[in-house]
Structure 1
């Protein structure tokens, strides 16, 4: 197996991520992160959080802006988590419909509701984990280390969008897809492919830009 030339430098972050519960983790060149203009369009067309949270579009850097930011970083930590929620193959294909549509079949609605309950309860530690990795990298001499998380922010019941100021700036982090990162392609490129469509327990990815 070819040895990863950048891993030894940041082996402490790989070890820390595993210690915190990551399923898989790898240091990759920042240039290997795939950014596409079409990704935030899915936020606008298919996400119930669009425009409702300050760490989601349209309040975050555009893909073009993020490409410029990304060019100033050399490495990133790619972290994989496993959700404790188990996806029914039929329900997961229309998860929002079964969850939110009042006319959805009762059994499907119950399955969708249980899925999100298990998912949110079980993945609540993932964002704090990425913040801990950010802190660890910062304290090791990487002043511009910055975490990106999977999924929208859950810190407030209602985001302070009207005032335009996040009330938890030290804890809130942007989801990578919000700035255009194609995590499926990025993970595949790194040799850490994500199962998609989702089967069984969803595989979630997050990024830590290092320096």
Structure 2
């Protein structure tokens, strides 16, 4: 369902701000178009080295069922697309975690994987602050429950205060979309701003801002 013209105009300042801050694209959609699936968080449990190690990741964040209830209280969402500066050859990107973490991986592949992640982390470090700025702008425009979700796990601390049970940067730390079950590939496709997957060239990353 397309947003009414009045709402497109109302949130145009957020789309403009996102592009000004460095986003490749941005679009406001109905919150009901955000696709949440239980299977998404299985990838956190079975495919992520950060599972259980960060308070912004499962099992410390709302489950997909919990999040569906939360999402139903929002009317709109701002989708924001970023482009990572990192790039890897197809034969490296197809097994990027294996080449990065496996000590038995071929040396040349390991070097390529390490370069990819170094470029990626260095180049995408500003994306979360951008989403916080968009959250601030939405809040100050009369959306008191505006809340940003970020692509990728939190990088604020070298070791998260999981044992203490409290985030030491609560005003800056935000939850990754997939951690609460958002299928960003499907959501982006539905919004007609698809993510290229499997990755080719520079990875396309999506973030999301809920607007009440």
TM-score normalized by the length of structure 2: 0.97
Q: Name the count of aligned residue pairs.
A: 210
Go from structure 1 to structure 2 and tell me whether the alpha carbon gap of 1:115 and 1:186 turns closer, same or farther (over 3 Å shift).
same
Structure 2 counterpart SS, 1:156: coil
Poorly superposed stretches of 4+, deviation over 6 Å = none
Q: Which residue of 1 aligns with 2:197?
A: 196
Q: Which residue of 1 aligns with 2:28?
A: 27
Q: Which residue of 1 aligns with 2:89?
A: 88
CA displacement at 1:3 relative to structure 2: 8.1
Q: Which residue of 1 aligns with 2:163?
A: 162
Q: Distance in 2 between matches of 1:105 and 1:205?
A: 31
Q: Give unmatched runs, 5+ long, in structure 2.
A: none
Q: Distance in 1 between matches of 2:69 and 2:180?
A: 11
CA displacement at 1:7 relative to structure 2: 1.6
Aligned Cα root-mean-square deviation (Å): 1.0
Q: Which residue of 2 aligns with 1:12?
A: 13
Farther-moved stretch of structure 1 (183-192 vs 86-95): 86-95
Structure 1 counterpart SS, 2:11: helix
Post-superposition Cα deviations, 1:145-179, rounded to whole Å, max 9, x if no partner, equal: 00000000000000000011000000000000000
Q: Distance in 2 between matches of 1:147 and 1:137?
A: 10
CA displacement at 1:87 relative to structure 2: 2.3
Asked if structure 1 preserves the Cα contact closer than 8 Å seen for 2:58 and 2:179, the reply is yes
Asked if structure 1 preserves the Cα contact closer than 8 Å seen for 2:3 and 2:30, the reply is no
Post-superposition Cα deviations, 1:60-87, rounded to whole Å, max 9, x if no partner, equal: 0000000000000000000000000012
